[in-house]
Structure 1
Amino acid sequence: MLMKERNSVILILFILTMFAFFVMLQPAEASDPASVITVEQLEPILGTPGLVIIDVRSPEEYGDGHIAGAINVQMAEYADQNNPIAVMAATPEQMEAMLGSKGVGNESRIVIYDDQGASATRLWWVLYMYGHPDVKILDGGIEKWQAAGKPMTTVAPLVQAAQYKIDRSRINKGAVASTEEVLAAVENKSALLVDVRSSDEFNGKILKQGAFRKGHIPGSIWLEWTKNQNPDRTFKSIPELKKMYEGEGITDCKKIIVYCQTGTRSSYTYFVLTQLLGYPDVQNYDASWIGWSKDESLPAQVGYSVLKIGSRFYTEGGSEREMDVIPYLKDGRAFVPVLYLASMLDIVSEDIKWDPAGKAVTLVKAVYAQPT
């Protein structure tokens, strides 16, 4: 009888040991829920001591209605106004003065929101870089709050100035990439470069105000920041995000540097990669395309297209398009449709000339002199 009981105890201990072992093998949850707060979670804690809600929309939008108790902070207030490159992160001294004047202390629990997402994550990124311990993004922002029928107010709260001090030893210098680090990634593939701007910006079809050249940093992967969002501007689920990034070859196995025009939209992708997917080595290139394009010595690539022989479909800047003729190989040479070549050269159909007698096609590329 004692032997049976002893064997039973041993069996139970073995089962418990194996259970603990398999639990240890399970991957940890990649997301950090402490960095995101939902509308349902925020409403019941409104007005609690130590909670600071920051609305980073325009003063006009804020004045038309905001979450009760929210203060208004403009992007210019957390940007370095003395830096020749637009919207670079404010210095520690500038952030200390701004936060203190807004009544934010070192122990404040901060919730940030806007109407699109990127302005909120930009302030989150600056605070994260400077080591503030408790900062959350309101998932879906003000639009989600309003859609849920939550109350709004036009009354701005009274703010009492506070003392704010950034511990220089806690500054996360690894959160920001320098131009030298980006150039190293171009030259020796030391990191994956991810451009989160629009397809037209990436391909050089448009030059957004503030930039000095068209195109993108050579070797960049294009994945627009809005692809992280659901239609209601909430974050996509972790499985969806993981599948999307891994499908583009963006994994946690390598250092990643994200950029956009000013480091604002890329802060959203930075937030997703670090806080939701748990990627360990991600940097935001603060100077981004404005800083890079300003330096003529740095390389730029215009256009990006991938086609496959035997397929009617090709990708341009990450978007799938269709050709009228399938490209093919003959005698070791690739034959592709003229319309495809014209598209890559930004030549419109009216400038494609066909000579039936000579059976020749001429592509006319208009070149305009730049003003001096």
Structure 2
Amino acid sequence: MNKEPKRAVTIKDVASEVGVAPSTVSRTLQNHSSISEETKEKVRKAMDKLGYVPNVAARNLAKKYANTIGVVMPFLSLRDRKSNPFYMDAIMAMNQEASKYDVTLAIASGESEKELLDNVQLMYKQKRVDGFILLYTKRDDPILAYLESNAIAHTVIGQPYSYTSTTNIVDNDNQLLGRSATQYLVDRGHKKIFFITHVERENVFQERFYGYQKAISDNKLPLYSHVVLKKPEDYNLFTELMETEKPTALIVIDDMFALRIIQLCNLLGYRVPDDISIVSFNNSIFSTLIHPYITSIDIHTEELGRVAVQQFIRQLNNKHSLQQKVFIQHQLIERETVIDIPKE
């Protein structure tokens, strides 16, 4: 004989157990100040005794909040982006911070820009999220334009190309990062320094390269155009530049790409750091995967994620609050890829 499924405990059951009105139980769930601590304690004990489980979805619907933040990844058609530890480190920190506010995260991703935008729109229209945190910046980004035009709460990790006066921004001072990396090499005696990248359009590259240019100019050293390595012919040009210009140091856009540059230098017969010094950015797991360990600037990814959640919650709780731009400090971590150049 089949047993009937056990009926779920309701607010009315809890109210009957304590001898209070159902509205008292409801306000206890909201930790409302109108209910005394003594009554709240009685209600909570009754909930534990009866095994009452709050219907979070129904409560969120009544409050008109989903208590969920949508986290927007860049569209992931590039293999490097899928394996970049920045995103996982940021999301883990964001999840820890969100849990302090009883908020969860929902990831928005896509293989193309259109697919990503469709997912973002669907998540918001179905009220599955209260707004979004963008883990990237992109020129003419349709997702940021959608969030802005519909007054949807959002925070951006990075420096957006537009809407800077109306968007909550959490970022590093990437110009200062570029200057710091360059000045560190200059102080170690390096005078011929290249800036190496595999991206050109991203704001993070442009800001870091500008900082490099400023430091080179301040020190009255030879200024080189950035070196982009994407296509096979780019690598041939890099080989020629290494032979003709003979740089003593390279600044690389991030740790993951720096590993490739170290391998490339080895293939070309240059030893790191004996023949060529390298500094990169992010201080990710890639910086200590193989020897020589990479000297890298720590951008404090976890702090970027935590502060982004804080800024989003602040905006959600007060839609009339002023937009803020928060800079996270950086730290240069000295390891094994830089040596001093003796003064002549």
TM-score by length of structure 2 reads 0.25
**Higher-helix-fraction structure:** 2
